[in-house]
């Protein structure tokens, strides 16, 4: 597949790209990681500009994409929505038209409110003449999930996940209702490469119906599967990858008090060494970070030999650069 054919493509969900196209992005990610480690220049986007609109907080995503654009020879503009005209109601249509006339790519994080972020990004993309990259919305976190798949591939030395049990589990956190986009994004992506994804969650924490319907259809095409259980221990049993993190109950995102009270009913949903032993000594622990230490996961696990979270975080840089290079014309 010609890499130049990706120029101008949006990356709003991994589901919008074929498995073969995702494979190209993974190949480029590995090449750029090798170049970075060897200190070889790779200025694929010299003098190009990326506009990054953030409607929520970020550490890894913002810095991976800012550093990535610098290393690719371009520049990233950070736009805090609260200090821009977006806060006064400027439309996604206008933002798409104007920012794409100033530069070469637009990246957006809008993940706080179910039903808003993905629709906002697609509205921007409809009117922009530059590619739009989803830095996390209410439905998907595709740049994170690409890095996750890259990390699994590196660890197990295979891109085929056929027969691999991956447990995506809800975990307790005392903080705000976190987006559903990571577990949904994992369900949208990993079964397309053959994984058997088991989602472990309390009954109130069901994921978005329309997203999961799409995920199951893609899983069937890719040879993987998606199942759901209501016990964390059952999900962990014999899993080769465990990915426990908190997410909010969709019906309570607008009611923080009730959302946190519901969370507190499931304080025992924590990834500890006993649960890791259910998965086995060769299983790996993953998390998109930041993890709520002592709540979602014990220090023993996240800092232990089975944890690959810092490799995951590093791969955000390399997979992000691959997406930028491909979509913003770095390959023709």
Same fold across 3-141+316-327 and 144-311: yes
**Residue 278's pLDDT is what?**
97
Contact criterion met (CB below 8 Å) for 205 and 211: no
Contact criterion met (CB below 8 Å) for 205 and 236: no
Summarize pLDDT for 96-117 with one digit per residue, the tens.
Answer: 999 999 999 999 999 989 999 9
Cα distances (Å, whole numbers) of residue 150 to 25, 49, 210:
10, 26, 26
**Residue 108's pLDDT is what?**
98
Per-residue pLDDT band at 73 (split at 50, 70, 90): very high
Arithmetic mean of pLDDT, 132-155: 98
**Residue 88's pLDDT is what?**
87
Per-residue pLDDT band at 332 (split at 50, 70, 90): confident
Per-residue pLDDT band at 280 (split at 50, 70, 90): confident
Per-residue pLDDT band at 325 (split at 50, 70, 90): very high
Q: Report the candidate in 149, 156, 231, 129 with the shortest Cα–Cα distance to residue 190.
A: 149
Arithmetic mean of pLDDT, 121-129: 98
Other CB atoms closer than 10 Å to residue 239's CB: what's the count?
A: 25
Per-residue pLDDT band at 177 (split at 50, 70, 90): confident
Summarize pLDDT for 212-248 with one digit per residue, the tens.
Answer: 999 999 999 999 999 999 999 999 999 999 999 999 9
Domain extents in the chain: 3-141+316-327, 144-311
Q: Order of strands, edge to edge, in the sheet holding 132-137?
A: 75-80, 49-54, 105-110, 132-137
**Residue 52's pLDDT is what?**
98
Cα separation, 145 vs 312, in Å, equals: 10
**Residue 198's pLDDT is what?**
98
Residues facing residue 54 across a β-bridge: 80, 109
Arithmetic mean of pLDDT, 126-155: 98
pLDDT at 272 over 90: yes
Crossing angle (nearest 10°) for helices 181-189 and 209-222: 20
Other CB atoms closer than 10 Å to residue 67's CB: what's the count?
A: 16
The model's pTM:
0.97
Does domain 144-311 fall into CATH 3.40.50.1370?
yes
Summarize pLDDT for 32-52 with one digit per residue, the tens.
Answer: 999 999 999 999 999 999 999
For 3-141+316-327, CATH gives 3.40.50.1370
Q: Report the candidate in 107, 127, 10, 103 with the shortest Cα–Cα distance to residue 55.
A: 107
């Amino acid at each position: 597949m010609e890499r130049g054919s990706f120029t101008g493509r949006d990356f709003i969900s991994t589901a919008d790209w074929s498995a073969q196209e995702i494979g190209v992005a993974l190949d480029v990610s590995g090449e750029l990681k090798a170049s970075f480690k060897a200190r070889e220049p790779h200025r694929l986007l010299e003098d190009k500009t990326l506009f990054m609109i953030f409607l929520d907080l970020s550490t890894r995503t913002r810095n991976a994409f800012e550093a990535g654009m610098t290393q690719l020879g371009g520049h990233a503009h950070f736009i805090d929505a609260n200090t821009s005209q977006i806060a006064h109601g400027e439309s996604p249509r206008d933002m798409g038209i104007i920012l794409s006339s100033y530069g070469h790519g637009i990246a957006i994080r809008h993940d706080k409110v179910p039903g808003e972020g993905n629709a906002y990004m697609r509205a921007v993309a409809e009117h922009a003449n530059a590619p739009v990259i989803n830095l996390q919305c209410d439905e998907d976190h595709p740049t994170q999930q690409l890095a996750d798949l890259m990390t699994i591939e590196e660890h197990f030395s295979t891109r085929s996940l056929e027969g691999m049990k991956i447990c995506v589990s809800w975990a307790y956190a005392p903080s705000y209702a976190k987006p559903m986009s990571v577990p949904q994004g994992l369900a949208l992506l990993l079964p397309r490469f053959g994984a058997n994804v088991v989602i472990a969650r309390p009954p109130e924490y069901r994921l978005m119906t329309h997203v999961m319907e799409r995920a199951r259809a893609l899983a069937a095409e890719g040879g993987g599967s998606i199942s759901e259980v209501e016990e964390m221990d059952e999900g962990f049993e014999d899993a080769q990858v465990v990915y426990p993190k908190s997410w909010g109950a969709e019906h309570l995102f607008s009611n923080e008090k009730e959302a946190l009270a519901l969370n507190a009913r499931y304080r025992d949903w924590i990834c500890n060494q006993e649960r890791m032993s259910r998965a086995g000594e060769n299983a790996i622990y993953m998390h998109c970070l930041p993890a709520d230490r002592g709540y979602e996961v014990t220090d023993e696990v996240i800092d232990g030999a089975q944890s690959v979270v810092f490799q995951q975080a590093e791969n955000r840089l390399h997979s992000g650069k691959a997406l930028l290079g491909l979509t913003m014309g770095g390959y023709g």
